[in-house]
Each structure stands twice: as C-alpha cells, then as structure tokens.
Structure 1
C-alpha cells in the first residue's frame, strides 16, 4: 500500500514465528503499526511487555468476555493460560480485573479490550459474570482515559444497553464489527468506531458489506484479528498483519473510493481512536 496503515486488532501471541518477523512482513506491505490485544491476564501482560519493547506495537489489555465466566467458575480452559484450577468466584474475578486496571495505566497500553459480551459461546449461566466484567472494563477505560475495544458476538442490544447504562468512554471501537446496517447506523450516531476484519471478504458476508456501505468513512478501522478471519483468497489459513491490504482493498471497493482514500481515512481514524504518536 502507498499509504501506511495500522492493523487495529491482532494477536501476535497466537501466531507462529517471531514478533520481529511478523512486524517486518507487515511493514513490507505498508502496515507500519499493530495493536496487540490481550484476552486474559497472561496475554495482557505479554501485550504490555511487547508494546514496551517495540515502537510499532500498541497494546490493549482485558479479560475476554468468555474469560470472565471461566474465572468465576474456576475453569482454566479456553482462553485462560493459568494452567491450574483457580478458586473462582467473584473475588477471583475482582482480583483479575484489579491487575487489568494496573496494566491499563501503562503508557504503551492504548486501550482496554477486548471486552464486551458474547452470547454465542457463553450460555445463560455465565452472562451475569460477563456483564459484570464488561461494566468494570468500561470504568477502567474511563478512569485511565483509554479506548474501549468491544467484542460483540450475538449480543448487539445488550452491549448497547450496558454502554448506555454506564456511559461510554470518549473513544469506543467495535472490533470485528458484526452487526447489520441498522447496527452500523446506531454505532455511527454514537460516534463509535467500526473496525472491519477479513470476514468482510467472505462470499456469505453481504450483510456485513451492507453495514460497511452505510458506515461513515471517518469512523472506519481495519484489522486482521489474526490468526483468525483470514481474508479471501487465503481463508482457512492462519492470518497475520501482512494481509491487511486485502481487507482494506475490499473495504474500498464496497465504499466506492480509491484504495489510497480508504487508507488515508483509516490511518487518520486509527490515530483518533488510539492516539497519534
């Protein structure tokens, strides 16, 4: 790409190879910065450490929505890397959130997330813990003046409800936006950023492209969510930040603008969303 952009959401710790190799491959195609996203305590610590060590990496820290119920239930499976059963309960969740709060204060940490609600993988028994965690993350983001990065899966109405209840932080990013055109309009009315990933290139993703079509250009971000959601024609393989150009070009086609125009908008939006410099 002729205009440098940022991968606004990636998981380098879940990708093969070294951080240095991933950053070099990304830079070679014009992706000059990545936002490394934490999903649990170990991953959030790693994100903060990696961002401190690499100028082209920014960090976000959080407990993933599916992590909070596991902590409360004392279940180390899934996202958790603690390796042993923990006592569980609200006290365990509070302790984990206290550490996220401390990490959020670090200067290289630009956001709090990914947090939010996931009604696809978490059943009714875990939703109270999930919502409690989400509300606490909102407070952490507001206290430290950091961007709130939202994971919203099959929970659009509840995510918007909690944001309205708590009062959204100044900057909110809907990571891997998954809503329809109506949801996109609602987010835009609230000034929330919409970040699109490689799934916008999928054949069956017309509702997502319809949402992109109505989303304002000045609220769009681009991401990989790598190693997940790898864009066509590499769908099914592990992704990486170097594949951002494929998604950005697809976004430009949907919006009916030149690639450089899309890249310039995304670059400016990312600086507004996470802070320039």
Structure 2
C-alpha cells in the first residue's frame, strides 16, 4: 500500500501500434467547462504529463477543473491527494467493479469499502466513483462481488451526500434494477454513457446525468449521438476518461483533459447549437452535480 499517495502512478499498457505522442492543443473554449471523469494517475505516452502539466494544459484551453475518478484503494488515495494539491481537482473514490472480485477473493472487499467510506468524508471528495457493473470483463464467478460492492457504494454516496459515477458495461438493465432496488443517490451520473436513445430517455426521466466521452466522435458510435440528441440539456456532462477514448481525429493517441474542447465542439455541432451555449450548460450541470471546485 502506497504511504505517500503522490508517488502512486500506473502505466497504461502499450498494446498495438499506438501513436504515443500527445496531440497539439485545440482552440480554447470561450466558455470554460469541466472534465467530470479522468484518471490522471495513469501515465501514458512517450513523454508522460505530470498532474501539474495536465492541469496547466487544460486551463490554457478553457478547462476549469477535473474530477479525478478512482478504481481501487491506492488510486482513491491518490485522487484525494490530487484534490488537496490543486483547487482545480475534485476527487471521486471507489472500488471499480472489475476490481471488486479480486478484493473479495483476497478477503479484503469489506476492508477496501471501509477505506472508501473513510476517504469519502474528505471535503474534496464529491463523488463515489467509479462503481457499477461490468458484464464484459468479469465472469459469472465474480458477479456477486460486483453486486455487493455496487450496493455498498450506493449506500456510501447517500451516507456522505455526494454524487455517484456509474461504470456500466453490457449491464444496462441490471444497473437500472439495482438503482431501483437500492434507491439511487440524488446525483447519479452514467460515466462514459454507452447506451442508446431509449436508455438515455429512461435515465433522464429518472433524473440521472449522462456523461459523454470522446468515443461519441467515433464512426461506429451512432448510438451515442442518438442518445445525446434526446438527452435534456440540463442532464448533459462531458468527460475524457483519460488516458482512454481520445476523440477523433486523434483516436488511439494519449488522451488528456486539454482535449475536451474537441468533444464539446463535436457535441454542439451535432445538437446544432452554439459551442458557448453548450459549454455554459455543461459547466452549470457540473457544478450542480459536484459543487464548487474552489
């Protein structure tokens, strides 16, 4: 376990023939927005960026702040450290659904959730996340641990009065079922929304927020564009999920919060509205979910 959270980093695997250079920065947004889900503890690229470099690049193009999401005990501690280190960072803490089975197998899931409970009391922690269900990477034997962890995280979000960021992969119906059974937190966000227009309508009707990432720009992501089109403006958020899901035309290269303007401009064009109008709405939505950054 890392004693100094600032020293904790993970490296993204360099599979395939990826271009490992960071793209040039896009044009600055006139109205600043926030990246509401990123993993800046995961270093990527030929010349990895430090937290300070990430935030400086982001601010230079109109990204006022980021929500640093977590997936295990160590990254949750790092998220809290990052949020203490810089007022442009808020923290989300959690055990990722794909990590829950490993903790359970080691007999440490309850212990890990207790650490998340302790961290969630920190004033710079504004969300429990990411938590949820993943039927793509976890087999049937690991699902009980996912369910137990998800239910515990829902309880923590409500206990601490913070938002919840949901990871939902190939598990749409079951995620809705658990939220209905347990009672969703007041501010529930579908991180990296992966459903279609029908699911978007259902989520919005239930009062949930939908966060769109760079994959909405991918050629094969018509379902996401359809979902965006029917999502009420006051339920829309934007994220990078950095270092993953880099938007076109830089798909496959390292992602970072400073690339959010590409996604925002794409979304505004798809909706047929001014970029400044969408940016202002996204910024207001983000503050509604997570509160003030500084």
TM-score between both structures, scaled by the size of structure 1:
0.93
The corresponding residue for 2:206 is: 190
1:11 matched to 2:39: yes
- Consecutive unaligned residues in structure 1, runs of 5 or more: 74-87
Measured after TM superposition, the shift of residue 276 of structure 1 is 2.5
- Distance in 1, matches of 2:245 and 2:173, equals 24
- Consecutive unaligned residues in structure 2, runs of 5 or more: 1-28
- Distance in 2, matches of 1:240 and 1:49, equals 19
Measured after TM superposition, the shift of residue 202 of structure 1 is 0.3
The corresponding residue for 2:283 is: 267
The corresponding residue for 1:210 is: 226
Match runs of 1:172-187 below 5 Å:
172-187=188-203
Measured after TM superposition, the shift of residue 32 of structure 1 is 1.2
- Distance in 2, matches of 1:103 and 1:27, equals 27
SS, match of residue 48 in structure 1: helix
1:111 matched to 2:127: yes
The corresponding residue for 1:144 is: 160
SS, match of residue 226 in structure 1: coil
The corresponding residue for 1:43 is: 75
1:32 matched to 2:60: no
Query: Could you report, residue by residue, the CA deviation over 1:223-243 in whole angstroms, capped at 9, with x for unpaired residues?
Result: 000000000011010100000
SS, match of residue 41 in structure 2: helix
Query: Could you report, residue by residue, the CA deviation over 1:93-112 in whole angstroms, capped at 9, with x for unpaired residues?
Result: 00000000000010000100
- Distance in 2, matches of 1:68 and 1:274, equals 25
TM-score between both structures, scaled by the size of structure 2:
0.88
Measured after TM superposition, the shift of residue 167 of structure 1 is 0.4
The corresponding residue for 2:215 is: 199
1:54 matched to 2:54: no
The corresponding residue for 2:245 is: 229
The corresponding residue for 1:124 is: 140
- Structure with the largest fraction of helix: 1
Question: After TM superposition, which residue ranges in structure 1, 4 or more long, deviate above 3 angstroms?
Answer: none
- Distance in 2, matches of 1:219 and 1:17, equals 31
Query: Could you report, residue by residue, the CA deviation over 1:56-113 in whole angstroms, capped at 9, with x for unpaired residues?
Result: 000000000100011112xxxxxxxxxxxxxx13xx1000000000000100001000
SS, match of residue 267 in structure 2: helix
The corresponding residue for 2:97 is: 65
Q: Provide the aligned C-alpha RMSD in A.
A: 0.7
The corresponding residue for 2:30 is: 2
SS, match of residue 63 in structure 1: coil
SS, match of residue 193 in structure 2: coil
Query: Could you report, residue by residue, the CA deviation over 1:162-201 in whole angstroms, capped at 9, with x for unpaired residues?
Result: 0000001110010000001010001000110000000000
SS, match of residue 165 in structure 1: helix
- Distance in 1, matches of 2:130 and 2:163, equals 10
- Distance in 2, matches of 1:38 and 1:62, equals 6
Residue-pair matches, total: 261
- Distance in 2, matches of 1:57 and 1:276, equals 10
The corresponding residue for 1:85 is: none
SS, match of residue 12 in structure 1: coil
Measured after TM superposition, the shift of residue 254 of structure 1 is 1.6
